[in-house]
Amino acid sequence: MPDAAATAPAPADAEAALSFLTEMSPDLRGGAILTADGTVLAASSEAAEWATEAVALLSIADATGEEPVEQIHIATQAGEVFALRAHGFAAVAVTERFALASLTFFDMRSALRELAKGSGEGDPEPSDGQGEVDG
Amino acid sequence: MPPKPHRVLLDRVSGYADEAAAYMRRRRIQRKPFARLYYRGGRAAEYPADSTAGAELFVAANAVIDLAAKPRLVPKGRERKRP
């Protein structure tokens, strides 16, 4: 098992990944990038609050099924929430209503892949096209 | 007398644009809130808002949406200085 300290990405890398997401998705209101254990690496506002709410969302989603969820898409009247687990990280993003889900997930997956490449975490190119999921 | 070729083309493009605009209007009006979860292997599940799991997901999602509306906090000493 690799040393977590050696493979943990620098906060600057996570900030860069979040900036990439913000740049790529004009509908994005805010978001956060977390490690598999729920530690916030980068967030658009208070990191501690993102840790609480994002982990709660992922936990509730996991509890609804028998296996860990990989993607979450919740559309409400106030906006849309996207969450993705891939490459040993998790990304949560909030967008305006009617954002294109496939593009948003694609951008989130790209950001996490680049982050994983930088940190050596996970498999940057999974054989099945799906990211690893760590509950 | 047949219409000029460019008129036909313009009418056709306008027709497509009208169709697209109508589709977007219908989508905005008719689309209801939903919660969709996707699992490995492509399996997906949808939870209506009136189900127990759906209600919990919507509460959690609304908390995240409220969080995204908050402004970013800049640590002291890292504020951007205006030129």
pLDDT in tens, B26-72: 888 888 899 999 999 899 999 988 889 999 999 999 999 999 987 76
Q: Considering CB atoms only, which of B28, B41, B63 is closest to A98?
A: B28
Q: Among A49, A59, A60, which would you mutate to test the B interface (most chain B Cβ atoms within 10 Å of its Cβ)?
A: A60
- Altogether, the residues listed in chain B come to a count of 83
Q: CA A80 to CA A13: how far, in whole Å?
A: 25
Asked if the model's pLDDT at residue A23 lies above 60, the reply is yes
Copy the structure tokens of residue A98: 């009617």
Please report residues of A whose CB lies closer than 8 A to that of B64. Answer: 53-54, 57, 81, 92, 94
Q: Are the beta carbons of B37 and A71 closer than 8 angstroms?
A: yes
Band (pLDDT 50/70/90 cuts) for residue B83 is: very low
Q: How many residues does chain A have?
A: 135
Chain B residue with minimum CA distance to A86: B40
pLDDT tens column, A40-89: 999 998 899 999 999 999 999 999 988 999 999 999 989 999 999 999 99
Statement: the pTM of the whole predicted model exceeds 0.90: no
Tokens 């690799």 identify what position? A2
A45, A54, A69 member nearest B37 (Cβ): A69
